[in-house]
Amino acid sequence: MQRAPRRIAVMGSGSWGTTFAKVLADADAQVQVTLWARRPAVAQEIAERHTNSAYLGELALPANIAATADPAVALTGADLVVLAVPAQSLREQLTSWGPYVPEDAVLVSLMKGLERGTDLRMTEVVAQVLGTPQERLAVVSGPNLAKEIARQEPTASVVACSDEGTAEWIARAATPGYFRPYTNTDLVGVEIGGIVKNVIALAVGICDGMGMGDNTKATIITRGLAETTRLALAIGGNADTMAGLAGLGDLVATCSSPLSRNRTAGRLIGEGLSLDEVAAKMNQVAEGIKSASAVLDLAHHHGVDMPITQAVVAVIDGRVSVKDMARLLLERELKSEEIK
């Protein structure tokens, strides 16, 4: 893959999909980036005004970004396809788009969720539906709050693929002056880090909504990293990945920033709002709410203890009140801090 991509399709026009399209367009003024939007009105705004006001306000998008509501138009001729739709809709979307995805395209997932019912990571869903080989499947993950990147604030990320050459090819295509992608061949670890941090951010947000202080939140973040690492190691990930941008870096950003959807959703839950009320207040999906039960299922399948995830799932399911969540965690059996 010596030649840089000439045509890129970004499937999904939410804040992160639109922002990553901007990253790709800013990295190479000659590349044509086409955003697919589910809603025709959004595609029209991007195409005509070069803004996506619902997610990024009046921030101007590069001239080499086009937009369409027709997936066939977006995907035709694309050598790089970026997937940025809600995790739980991916299988349905891929089934619909399948005939238009070029056979030799590289597919990149920006999604951070597990599919409910199958407990599959997003790259596993892509491989199952489209038959894409591992050397053409990649993930971009890290401490990547979309609005900060859209404002061109300096940010680092990770491009992970089992094939190092493919990861490097994607990284070269996504390197404007403000975005620095590192590469990693630990696809499993990078993907798990991005998935579980959303659940931990929900827990931190719940504590925040209940008025708890920094000691409590630091405890949740630290022990959350420990249980994320246990799960990653159990399914073939590397411990070093969890100490890097896609592990600790992403966890800290998501748990700390008011821009984080999952932390915000957790805060609203901690303040006493129902899940329906939370959804009504937010214009984007908090993937942690959707994926938490699948994360816990995967942990049980591999015999991994994930008490914070278990407590979050119990709150989401309505089996435990937010006031009882701390008690669930503190009453556990005493044990060593070491990861085993």
Rounded distance, CA 330 to CA 180, Å?
40
DSSP string, 244-293: SIIIIIHHHHHHH-TT-HHHHHHHHHHTT--HHHHHHH-SS--HHHHHHH
Matching residue, tokens 């195409």? 47
Instruction: Tell me if residue 290 is catalytic.
Output: no
Paired tokens of 277: 């009320």
Q: By CB neighbour count within 10 A (0-12 exposed, 13-18 middle, 19+ buried), where does 254 fall?
A: buried
Cα 251 to Cα 84, 152, 163, 263, 265, distances in angstroms = 20, 21, 25, 11, 16
Q: What are the residues facing 182 on neighbouring strands?
A: 158
Cα 93 to Cα 77, 132, 254, 266, distances in angstroms = 19, 15, 27, 28
Among the listed residues 15, 60, 9, 50, the one whose alpha carbon sits nearest the alpha carbon of residue 31: 9
Candidates 22, 197, 217, 290; catalytic one: 197
Amino acid letter, residue 329:
L
* Catalytic center residues: 197
